[in-house]
């Protein structure tokens, strides 16, 4: 482990020819590397856990075993496990489409044999029976969409370990298909989410980073978040910009967050997102509390934090009261009774803005619970109320912006809310989103998808089915009363046999259905007289 750390430090010195620490400007490190530069060592959660608990506590007695392990391909995104099935070619490959202005555009491709497995997977999903996906994975253990869908099933059944393992296996399968020049770290490789073959990689990375954050590895999760953003920074199909500020604060990467805000604010209007409007001043506040920084830097960070928190409270007054409520903080009488921050501020928000604010409060409120943060927030809240009462033009301008903007949320925000599963935000999803089926392997596909191959239409004969057969098919999707359609023209001769077979199938289906029905005994009452009151 020490040797690996020495190699990393040598590489860092090679990247910085002067051997000097990067110069700091106003609480912001002037890093010469690209903003979305990803470091390989930060993609391994074990490195982060070793920093917290030490190598011995994390690795234990794993080292001798690893020397005896059979050779497996080395990967960056996840480490293959002994318990996984043996890897073989899956039928996925990656192609370089073109290079424009120093940016390389890639796409995953499905070969014919993989397409056939994909069609079987879609049939399994339509059957609504997870066992069919399990059977498919037994035959094709590295089929990516099956791994993603089964991971969701395991998560719903509270089997978090298996759910995480399936996502890691999906990432391993995709990384083994990388193009030789595809780079995770450069920040200049792009994948188009409109192509269905590429979506599994985005979704697997997102689900993996959510598991990492819950596991207590926010620094590793942030690195995966940067990786997702670097794959399509212009469109951001999973809207990780709504998450990257939270991970930066959790990982205490305050300078990265402030640098992202400064470099992207001019062309992305990050301050118009409630999460950036509130998280960036919070990052500057934390920078101002770092005693190892020069006093001049700390003073500049304090000034920026004050200015930005004023703008955030004026632009998004509906955030304050839910945030204090989640933090179990009772505001003073002046703030609680003032209409600017009162209930009207939340009611007057558009549904789209309400979704963004509830997502931010539900996700980030734990970072605001710190008494030092609350002590910093209180005087700035009073200062904003003074500006409101003085009819500062900034207040009217912000109100006008709120009325014009946030009329409806783009599709990538809905996709992010569904994947994040924050109950505060999912409750505010509009009917046009909640009324359509959402699949874990492809939630809310883009309306302008680029389709390279299509699923063949399934042959069905609805006119030949009786009402009774349709009824049992609704209960048992795999049930078929009539059996196979006869093609030899000898219908009359086999009519009696078909009828008998159909009745036998019907009886077998009814027996299976009745066998699976479980009756729950009513709870026994110790007091049979029943003299208690009804609730």
d(CA 277, CA 309): 7
Model confidence pLDDT, tens digit, residues 291-305: 999 999 999 999 999
Residue 206, in any domain of the structure: yes
pLDDT, mean of residues 191-219: 97
Residues in the chain, total: 535
Split at pLDDT 50, 70, 90, the class of 477 is low
Model confidence pLDDT, tens digit, residues 425-448: 888 888 888 888 888 899 999 999
% residues pLDDT > 70 (the chain): 76
C-alpha count within 13 angstroms, C-beta hemisphere, residue 238: 31
Shared-domain flag, residues 149 and 189: yes
Q: Which domain holds residue 123?
A: 35-50+90-238
β-partners of residue 347 are: none
Shared-domain flag, residues 170 and 258: no
Q: Which of 194, 209, 238 is the last residue of a domain?
A: 238
Q: Which of 238, 262, 294 is the last residue of a domain?
A: 238
CATH of the domain at 152: 1.25.40.10
Residue 381, in any domain of the structure: yes
Model confidence pLDDT, tens digit, residues 136-167: 999 999 999 999 999 999 999 999 999 999 99
Shared-domain flag, residues 105 and 176: yes
Shared-domain flag, residues 179 and 325: no
Model confidence pLDDT, tens digit, residues 86-130: 998 899 999 999 999 999 999 999 999 999 999 999 999 999 899
Burial (CB count within 10 angstroms: exposed 0-12, middle 13-18, buried 19+), residue 474: exposed
Q: Which of 443, 468, 483 is the last residue of a domain?
A: 443
What is the domain count for the chain? 2
d(CA 365, CA 168): 29
Split at pLDDT 50, 70, 90, the class of 503 is low
Shared-domain flag, residues 283 and 224: no
d(CA 500, CA 293): 86
Shared-domain flag, residues 260 and 234: no
Shared-domain flag, residues 426 and 383: yes
Residue 2, in any domain of the structure: no
Residue 72, in any domain of the structure: no
Residue 516, in any domain of the structure: no
Selected residue with higher pLDDT from 498 and 254: 254
Instruction: Return the closest-CA partner of residue 250 out of 366, 372, 423.
Output: 366
Q: So what's the pLDDT on residue 526? A: 52
Shared-domain flag, residues 214 and 279: no
Shared-domain flag, residues 261 and 198: no
Shared-domain flag, residues 279 and 426: yes
Residue 184, in any domain of the structure: yes
Shared-domain flag, residues 204 and 261: no
User: Please, which residues have CB within 8 angstroms of residue 31's CB and are 6 or more apart in sequence?
Assistant: 22, 259
Torsion angle, alpha carbons of 281, 287, 288, 291, to 10 = 170
Residue 15, in any domain of the structure: no
Shared-domain flag, residues 177 and 323: no
Model confidence pLDDT, tens digit, residues 514-523: 555 555 555 5
φ, ψ for residue 21, nearest 5 deg: -70, 145
Residue 261, in any domain of the structure: yes
């Amino acid at each position: 482990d020490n040797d690996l750390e020495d190699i990393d430090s040598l590489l860092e010195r090679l990247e910085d020819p002067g051997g000097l620490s990067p110069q700091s400007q106003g609480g912001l490190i002037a890093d010469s590397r690209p903003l979305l530069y990803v470091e390989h060592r930060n993609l391994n959660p074990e490195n982060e856990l070793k920093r917290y608990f030490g190598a011995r506590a994390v690795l234990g007695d794993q080292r001798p075993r690893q020397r005896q392990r059979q050779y497996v391909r080395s990967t960056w995104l996840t480490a293959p496990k002994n318990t996984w099935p043996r890897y073989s070619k899956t039928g996925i490959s990656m192609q370089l489409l073109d290079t424009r202005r120093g940016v390389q555009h890639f796409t995953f491709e499905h070969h014919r044999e993989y397409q056939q497995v994909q069609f079987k997977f879609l049939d399994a999903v339509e059957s609504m029976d997870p066992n069919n996906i399990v059977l498919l994975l037994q035959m094709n253990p590295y089929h990516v969409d099956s791994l993603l869908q089964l991971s969701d099933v395991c998560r719903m059944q509270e089997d978090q370990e298996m759910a995480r393992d399936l996502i890691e296996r999906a990432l391993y399968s995709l990384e083994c298909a990388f193009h030789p020049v595809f780079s995770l770290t450069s920040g200049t490789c792009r994948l188009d989410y409109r192509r269905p073959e590429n979506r599994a990689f985005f979704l697997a990375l997102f689900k993996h980073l959510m598991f990492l954050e819950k596991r207590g590895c926010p620094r590793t999760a942030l690195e995966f978040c940067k990786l997702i953003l670097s794959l399509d920074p212009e469109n951001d199909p999973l809207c990780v910009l709504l998450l990257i500020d939270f991970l930066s604060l959790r990982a205490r990467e305050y300078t990265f967050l402030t640098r992202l805000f400064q470099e992207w604010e001019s062309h992305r209007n990050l301050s118009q997102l409630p999460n950036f409007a509130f998280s960036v001043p919070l990052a500057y506040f934390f920078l101002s509390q770092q005693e190892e920084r020069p006093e001049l830097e700390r003073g500049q960070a304090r000034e920026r934090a004050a200015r930005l928190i004023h703008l955030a409270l004026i632009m998004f007054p509906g955030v304050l009261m839910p945030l204090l409520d989640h933090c179990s903080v009772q505001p003073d009488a002046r703030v609680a009774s003032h209409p600017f921050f009162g209930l009207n501020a939340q009611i007057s928000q558009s549904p789209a803005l309400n979704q963004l604010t509830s997502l931010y409060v539900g996700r980030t409120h734990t970072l605001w619970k710190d008494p030092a943060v609350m002590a910093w927030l209180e005087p700035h809240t009073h200062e904003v109320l003074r500006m409101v009462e003085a009819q500062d033009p900034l207040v009217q301008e912000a109100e006008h912006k709120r009325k014009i903007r946030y009329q409806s949320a783009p599709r990538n925000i809905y996709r992010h809310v569904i994947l994040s599963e924050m109950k505060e935000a999912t409750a505010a999803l509009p009917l046009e989103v909640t009324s359509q089926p959402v699949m874990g392997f492809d939630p809310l596909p883009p309306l302008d998808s680029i389709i390279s191959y299509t699923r063949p239409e399934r042959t069905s004969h609805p006119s030949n089915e009786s009402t009774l057969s349709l009824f049992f098919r609704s209960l048992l999707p795999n049930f078929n009363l009539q059996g196979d359609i006869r093609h030899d023209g000898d219908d009359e001769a086999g009519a009696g046999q078909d009828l008998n077979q159909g009745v036998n199938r019907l009886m077998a289906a009814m027996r299976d259905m009745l066998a699976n029905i479980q009756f729950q005994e009513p709870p026994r009452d110790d007091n049979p007289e029943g003299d208690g009151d009804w609730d």
